[in-house]
Chains A and B, each alone.
Chain A
Amino acid sequence: MTENSTKGTLFQSIKFTDWPTVKEALISKDVGGVFILAPMAMQLVADGVPIKVVYLGHRDGTAIVVGKESNIHDFGDLAGKTVAIPSRYANQNVLMHRLMREWNMAENSIDLREVPPPEHPTALLAGAIDAYIVGEPFAAKAEVDGFGRVLYQASELWPDFISCVLVVRQDLIDEQPELIQELVTGIAKSGKWLDEDLEHRLDAAEVAGKRYYFQPPELLKHVLSKPPDRVRYTRLTPLKEEFDEIMELAFEIGVLSRRVAFEEYADDSFAGGVEGASWDLKALPRPEGWDKGGVR
């Protein structure tokens, strides 16, 4: 997220550490939009919160991680084990249930426990859990620190896996659509820039690690380069058929209180004009002190 868009709008990012606070900030209009879990966005709409999914945060970028010396070698070995998930409203939770069905396992054959994402690696190291499924960089954390092993990348299990989506408030869509378009276009440009060159990814790891994530840049470099398509930032238009599948599964496992139609919670009109567009991305402006850290 940049503070300096190409049109001069001041986009500022605010970091949260847990999903409930994100939800509250959206409801209280402290934020115009958030990157939020896809099923959570659906449930917020089911609860009457006026928001819309306008773009995806990324594709793939999730992994199931087990201990390095663990005797877990495929999904079936997770039966009877304890696995951490980021939230019951996470698509990672939906994926675990989808896999249990594919492997003909009972719904309760794996003990799924909600654990805040930053605590997944330490919980594995401490032996409190047998495995975890989470978005990056916490999946790679155990791998880089030498005590974890990736059992599966989400892309192996659910191609084009969706985790975080960008939701914005409906009042902003109605009253300031040009602002939302500017935001979506900016994210699309950033994604294209990231995906077109490995050097860009390594550069981004430096900036994001120091300024936004407060994570070692080396960890983010690992995430963004090993392999380069571990997380993808293009093809981020919300597609109805993909969301319908997530929604149906989330409803069936009791995450959603009711079925929600795609049109109720998504507005793909802002993404329409940016998919496949080409931009000259060689001269991205960098604000002064971009590498010195600091985020609200």
Chain B
Amino acid sequence: MKLKVAIGALAWALLISVMHVHLNIGWGSFSDRIAVMRGQQRAELMIGFLPVT
């Protein structure tokens, strides 16, 4: 019984986390943050603009 409750809680937490990333963060941004945490260098590009549309 305890095992079922633990697995259920774990599954629920996992589901909530996945939904949070999907709805609030975005998978691109999430993988970006993971890459930074793992010390991987991100590609960078500087784009110039003049504030005329």
Contacts and interface: CB of A to CB of B under 8 A. Distances in A.
Interface of A: 1, 4-19, 22, 25-26, 30-35, 57-58, 61-62, 86, 117-118, 134-138, 163-164, 166, 172, 176, 179, 183, 212-215, 223, 231, 283-285, 287
Interface in B6-40: 22-23, 25-29, 31-32, 35
B3 interface: no
Contacts of A214: 51
Given A7-B28, A285-B28, A135 B53 contact: yes
B49 A14 contact: yes
Contact of A35 (B25, B32, B47): B47
B46 interface: yes
Contacts of A58: 53
A12 B50 contact: no
Contacts of A118: 51
A61 B53 contact: yes
Interface string B41-53: 0111111111111
B42 A9 contact: yes
18 contacts: A4-B28, A8-B43, A10-B44, A12-B44, A12-B46, A13-B48, A13-B49, A15-B51, A62-B53, A86-B52, A134-B52, A136-B52, A163-B53, A164-B52, A164-B53, A166-B47, A172-B45, A176-B43
B48 A10 contact: no
Given A7-B28, A8-B31, A284-B26, A34 B47 contact: yes
Given A8-B28, A283-B23, A285-B29, A32 B47 contact: yes
A17 B51 CA distance: 8
Given A6-B28, A7-B28, A138 B52 contact: yes
A1 B53 contact: no
A167 to B, nearest CB: 10
Contacts of B48: 13-16, 22, 25-26, 31, 33-35
Contacts of A166: 47
Given A10-B43, A179-B45, A5 B28 contact: yes
Contacts of B22: 283
Most buried by A among B27, B32, B45: B45
Contacts of B51: 15, 117-118, 137, 212-215
A16 B50 CA distance: 5
A12 B52 contact: no
Nearest to A208: B51
Given A16-B49, A35-B47, A179-B45, 15 more contacts: A5-B28, A11-B47, A13-B49, A14-B49, A16-B50, A17-B50, A30-B46, A31-B48, A33-B45, A58-B53, A138-B52, A231-B53, A283-B23, A285-B25, A287-B29
